[in-house]
Structure 1
């Protein structure tokens, strides 16, 4: 069974200023003075926002893809203390859309809007 990977990526953060880092596979958003969220491995040339544009939770920012060094399509999200590529990451939690459960993401965790899901490759 082949999955569709042309899924719209909607931002999960509220009221941030967009700072474009790459027009092909990555988008970086300035949340506050020293907090940034980055979405990586987007489909090439699908970023839907412009540098300096204010975005809101639920806005489409691009499409999931398999760009960069990745074996299959997915979106990588990280929160950092600056826009620098070597900036340390900050732990964060996510809340599922339906049941409002809170969980902390970790490497290899597969997530849907309803929360963590079983990895189909295991």
Structure 2
């Protein structure tokens, strides 16, 4: 049986150092790190330490006494306006909490299919964060 974990969203991180760009790609099928050559001009600029400014976007982990629960009653997802506000304030790191028992219901087990509605909502929040 194929694990549902392979359906999570893709992530690509580009890191610039010494005239090279390291592309770290985590796709739906497998993690495939690779390094691609780049001109030093592609990575030019003053080197400064990256500063993380983060916030927790809570809600989807609430209502743990009622599984699967009802959206808007037992739990909620971060509002796009909340994400917009924090991005506007300079925040660049977001923690979006969710409840494992909702994404992978106990009745289906850990190797069972994810709850499609809950997973779609998590992907929506992830896509909103990625577009900022």
Q: TM-score scaled to structure 2, two decimals? A: 0.22
For the pair shown, which has the larger CA radius of gyration, 1 or 2?
A: 2
Structure ranking higher in helix proportion: 2
